[in-house]
Amino acid sequence: MKMIPVLLLFLAVMLAGHYYVCWHVYNILPFPLWGKVAAVSLMVLAFALSVLSVLPALDRVPFSLATALYEIGTSWIFIFLYLLLAFAVLDLGRLLHIVPSSVLVNNVIGAALLVVVMLAVFVYGNMNYNSKHRESFSVETAKAVDGRKIVLVSDLHLGYNNHRKEFSRWVDMINAENPDLVLVAGDIIDRSIEPLDEERVAEEFHRIKAPVVACIGNHEYLAGIDSACRFYDEAGIILLRDSAVSFGNVTIVGRDDKSNARRLSLAQIMQKNNVNADSSFVILLDHQPFNLEQAEEARVDFQFSGHTHYGQVWPVSWITDAIYEKAYGAHRRGGTFYYVSSGLGIWGGKYRIGTRSEYVVATLCAGGI
């Protein structure tokens, strides 16, 4: 119930923003009345699909159609954002007498330039998303870690937009690293378990040639935590929910997601699972990178998180920078090293503008910090 006012405010802002963008598109297009109305109608339809993309009703639509509706609806959210920014800049230019008012009214050149710029931005964004960045580093420690090589990924968001075929390429990429361990910092599932069952995606995880250990993300709760846990089990993933597992002298601690208000504190998890931070090299998987000081206080050696996507597109990345102590990349507090990943997959439309999709290769090296 507490979320209802927030959701209503968000809907009001979205409707006001769409009115602003639709009004500008109607005015700038050098079309007859029917053409202007058709263009605005398509934008309204895209907005409706963006709402449908987050509703359970999408699961009742045939898989191929649901995929198309989801990709159109979620892509529109990003297209709308950049149209909003473009018209805001043009309006500011008009108010400052830099941009002639005529540019925004029935203007062939203005409309053509807008289309060309938008196409260029989103073609680049899609190409950038599909180009997966390999981030690698060594983590030095005084503890005995025998040069273990770990591939770390987060935010796969497998579902209506990231299908089994695409995930299969990611598995090949992971296997090519010949890792000793694969760690996943949550959000393997996007919004529903239905498309994963439809494509039998769990089978693909069994091709990974190393143990896969994961924690829960907030999207597992959105998809239904019981169904998500069943999927993890079918996929052969070692799921850590406020629990730990050891591989030699390396102990992986996985927290339940912050979505669960009843999750244990990190100190409680360490005590419950008899984690010895004096002798073991302790890696913490915590999907959402809040309260980073807790890992430092618990003497965790390395924390890996995701969730932020680093905003996926600029300028949302600025917002994530304002929200989190560290929204993306490497960080250190005391004796604890952190890495917050922008994610291998993506939510919604497949665009990365000013950010990147990545996987991380970390090598544990004995040598002191």
Whether residues 121 and 188 fall in one domain: no
Whether residues 111 and 218 fall in one domain: no
Whether residues 37 and 144 fall in one domain: no
DSSP letters for 83-142: HHHHHHHHHHHHHTTSS-GGGGSS-HHHHHHHHHHHHHHHHHHHHHHHS-EEEEEEEEES
Mean pLDDT across 113-128: 97
**Helix (H, G, I), strand (E, B), or coil: what is residue 247?**
strand
Whether the bond into 315 is cis, omega within 30 of 0: yes
CATH of the domain at 347: 3.60.21.10
Angle between helices 33-52 and 3-28 (to 10 degrees): 160
Whether residues 145 and 100 fall in one domain: no
Q: What is the pLDDT of residue 368?
A: 56
| Arithmetic mean of pLDDT over the chain | 95
Whether residues 217 and 124 fall in one domain: no
Q: Running DSSP on this structure, what letter comes out for residue 257?
A: P
| Nearest C-alpha neighbor of 289 from the set 256, 326, 319 | 326
pLDDT tens-digit series, residues 49-62: 999 998 899 999 99
Q: What is the pLDDT of residue 6?
A: 73
pLDDT tens-digit series, residues 195-212: 999 999 999 999 999 999
Where residue 366 falls among pLDDT bands split at 50, 70, 90?
A: confident
Residue-range definition of the domain harbouring residue 46: 3-129
pLDDT tens-digit series, residues 135-169: 999 999 988 887 899 999 999 999 999 999 999 99
Where residue 264 falls among pLDDT bands split at 50, 70, 90?
A: very high
pLDDT tens-digit series, residues 296-338: 999 999 999 999 999 999 999 999 999 999 999 999 999 999 9
Whether residues 103 and 149 fall in one domain: no
Q: What is the pLDDT of residue 144?
A: 83
Whether residues 187 and 229 fall in one domain: yes
- Contact assessment for residue 223 and residue 192, using Cβ atoms and an 8 Å cutoff: yes
Q: What is the pLDDT of residue 11?
A: 84
Give the CA distances from residue 80 to residues 17, 36, 47, 83, 239, in Å, rounded to whole numbers and listed in that order.
Answer: 9, 17, 9, 5, 37
The C-alpha atoms of residue 147 and residue 143 are separated, in whole angstroms, by 11
- Of 129, 146, 176, the residue at which a domain comes to its end is 129
Q: What is the pLDDT of residue 7?
A: 72
- Of 105, 129, 153, the residue at which a domain comes to its end is 129
Residue 88, pLDDT > 90, answer: yes
- Of 129, 153, 187, the residue at which a domain comes to its end is 129
Whether residues 215 and 245 fall in one domain: yes
Residue 367, pLDDT > 80, answer: no
- Contact assessment for residue 195 and residue 66, using Cβ atoms and an 8 Å cutoff: yes
The C-alpha atoms of residue 104 and residue 24 are separated, in whole angstroms, by 7
Residue 369, pLDDT > 80, answer: no
Mean pLDDT across 83-91: 97
Residue 272, pLDDT > 60, answer: yes
Q: What is the pLDDT of residue 5?
A: 79
- Contact assessment for residue 55 and residue 35, using Cβ atoms and an 8 Å cutoff: no
Structural domains of the chain, count: 2
Residue 1, pLDDT > 60, answer: no
pLDDT > 90 in the chain, percent: 91
